[in-house]
Structure 1
């Protein structure tokens, strides 16, 4: 039986593990584009970077640009859409995630599987290039979803000159990562760029005319004309191959601390993997899982010498470059909403649009959110990631927060 490592998925996680393992690895990726850093797609959409700028380094093994359609676990073979059959010793599933397509009335005609004209997801390079081709100054655009992806897309389209409306069902933007104060600063940033932001706003359906979506219809009965509609409603793990192969799948493909699935010859990493009941869907855990798996597979003693993956304390980082006020830089980690007995240090400068807040529980830093001028984020994130007790004298922590800021409360 072959000892070849075959990786399905040429995103950040799959490409990383293939790079680490070297020339004997086969990487299967269905996109026509060379592997790229999905985190930077918004910068391509904004016109700041070309697609080549966000390309990932190549790996020295074999790359197949085709779609894996079936995994034969008994024979240890991957069957591809172009007829290629690839044997494996170890299979790595790095299939990523698919965009969530909300059940909006009128979005799909009976029996249709493709989105109607004028509607785009924002997940892949093809999505990005299609949006870039469709947008021009003055294009009436509705972005549905005000999470990290929706904020990035709305800002990028506004920079291209589109007339953007952002519709968010939750009560604030990026509600999973930000507290109310920092979310309001993001809202002000977007409105300053001309984005019209509506929160607590549920989209009910779309109106189609001539095969293209021309209206977005809200639950309160209001309808908004649109030429371009962007779906940024989240993602879900891509688990179809694993399910069809009979692997254990819950929210994602279930893996243990060595990133093994229910089949010891099949591993899973990145957005598609569920470890200890959690699916991350973020870049940092994907890279950490890829590195842990590469170490395990490259070790001479195999799993016995492997460093177990125990989870990632993931920091959310959004950096959108631009001149002056067009720049947006934020970071959030851990628990940003305090419990009643937590201590909070919060400092803000509304004029400069900067905000820093940390939450301390007992003698440990449990979370924080920073927006603008993030020179201190590395030290704060390390203090949080280590989960070590803070020094009795909290002045080092305060020093990290206070440069060039005006106090705005806290206790």
Structure 2
């Protein structure tokens, strides 16, 4: 369906040129390549083109260069991207967006993809009065933070990471790989408190200790002393030339709030991703949906795809149903996957659990099953089981009777599920890329990981599927390619 003859395309303005805003523009370009229905203008504060923020810890580690994490710019007559410019005011009555260069942009629909910023805890020395990082302190939210961190810390120097969540642990692994001496401080009883259980965290902390990273859980920081280190609540001072703060984020909601749009800790949205103003939408880290999704790239990209289908009119009834998060720790030499219910007591009603604990071998697995379906798992050092269980979790397929064999990666038989479409296993959950998609791309001539990424987007999200894609490529070397 095209626009009515003579009608002008509707104008969509996107505030934010991060991963989610850029994906929305890319989806619109794919759905409306001739710009017959809509035209999109994206404005972003950073001077850089859009890039994959999830891989910033890889830049710190030296696994990627900034150029290697750039996101593609849509090659479409209907998409215009303006970098280095900031939106300062939103007028919902007249449907205009004011920019810091004094110009205004009119819109028919506006998309807030403003993301989030690092939250600096109220600890002496960590932040200046204006909220900027203190001396020797940095966050890890953008490329400028990466450059600041690498300038602050040199090989052999001590660095303290404040925050033992996934970003903090990935940063610590990258820094120790650069030859720095790293300490991690976490105020919760154990690291990755939200994603894994305590026994898994103990083994994970031991693995980090073996790499040279000191982990201090259940400790509160008292003050940062520039040039000296971080003082803890027990009086100890951890030496540090730099302090990396990964202790949470705050959604960038000020533009919406000042315009009178409903906000809490994020911009409130419904299943259609509309705010309290029907012509203003929010996606990604700045959006607050009842089903969650903030802070995770896969839900953000799902939101971008849903909203693109709605605003281009290709699927006006498309809706976002909420997040089913899966966490993969991207740390060289450590394979950790976690999802679903992992903190329930083993004797919780209706819950079956199977646990394997191997501290000496640095491995741990916990499988949670309810009504014959996988509802949660923690898998440290069990990559084969992780792939299988993630598939069962995604598709809702009944689990095999031999749960222990499933965790060990041994052959199992899956119970039949009559009348149920179990779907296909996803290799790349961030981009919903299946094994069939990758095999098709290979048959069409994509023989390297980079070529597969260009064809399917696999490996361009969190990076957790790189190993699986490489394994598939190795296994397909003997296939007969499609004649050209």
TM-score (norm 1): 0.89
Q: Provide the secondary structure at the position in 2 that maps to 1:376.
A: helix
The residue aligned with 1:161 is 179
Q: Kindly indicate whether structure 1 or structure 2 has the higher relative contact order, using CA contacts under 8 Å at least 6 residues apart.
A: 1
Query: What CA distance in whole angstroms lies between the structure 1 residues aligned with 2:356 and 2:212?
Result: 27
Q: How big is each residue's C-alpha offset from its partner over 1:364-399, in whole Å with a ceiling of 9 and x where there is no partner?
A: 3211111234233343223223446x26x523x544
Query: What CA distance in whole angstroms lies between the structure 1 residues aligned with 2:97 and 2:9?
Result: 13
Following superposition, the deviation at residue 291 of structure 1 comes to 0.9
1:379 equivalent in alignment to 2:397: no
Q: Provide the secondary structure at the position in 1 that maps to 2:173.
A: helix
Q: How big is each residue's C-alpha offset from its partner over 1:263-289, in whole Å with a ceiling of 9 and x where there is no partner?
A: 111110111111116353111111111
1:13 equivalent in alignment to 2:20: yes
Q: What's the C-alpha RMSD, in Å, of the aligned pairs?
A: 2.1
The residue aligned with 2:342 is 336
The residue aligned with 1:64 is 82
The residue aligned with 2:456 is none
The residue aligned with 2:406 is 400
8 Å CA contact 1:252–1:273 kept in 2: the answer is yes
Q: How big is each residue's C-alpha offset from its partner over 1:145-194, in whole Å with a ceiling of 9 and x where there is no partner?
A: 11111111111111111111111111111010011222122212211111
| Structure 1: tracts of 5 or more residues without a match | 322-326, 406-411
Q: Provide the secondary structure at the position in 1 that maps to 2:10.
A: coil
Aligned residues: 389
Q: Provide the secondary structure at the position in 1 that maps to 2:383.
A: coil
The residue aligned with 2:308 is 294
1:107 to 113, 122, 126: 126
Distance verdict in 2 for CA 1:41–1:237, change over 3 Å:
same
The residue aligned with 1:360 is 369
The residue aligned with 2:463 is none
Q: Provide the secondary structure at the position in 2 that maps to 1:4.
A: strand
1:199 equivalent in alignment to 2:210: no
The residue aligned with 1:76 is 95
Q: How big is each residue's C-alpha offset from its partner over 1:329-371, in whole Å with a ceiling of 9 and x where there is no partner?
A: 2111111123324211223444543332210123332111112
Matching of residues 11-410 of structure 1 within 5 Å: 11-22=18-29, 24-60=39-75, 61-65=79-83, 66-109=85-128, 111-207=129-225, 212=226, 214-276=228-290, 278=292, 280-300=294-314, 305-321=316-332, 327-339=333-345, 340-341=347-348, 342-387=351-396, 390=398, 394-395=401-402, 397-403=403-409
Query: What CA distance in whole angstroms lies between the structure 1 residues aligned with 2:17 and 2:130?
Result: 28
Q: Provide the secondary structure at the position in 2 that maps to 1:171.
A: coil
Query: What CA distance in whole angstroms lies between the structure 2 residues aligned with 1:275 and 1:344?
Result: 30
Query: What CA distance in whole angstroms lies between the structure 2 residues aligned with 1:218 and 1:142?
Result: 12
Q: Provide the secondary structure at the position in 1 that maps to 2:170.
A: helix
Query: What CA distance in whole angstroms lies between the structure 2 residues aligned with 1:235 and 1:329?
Result: 25
| Structure 2: tracts of 5 or more residues without a match | 1-7, 30-34, 412-484
TM-score (norm 2): 0.76
The residue aligned with 1:324 is none
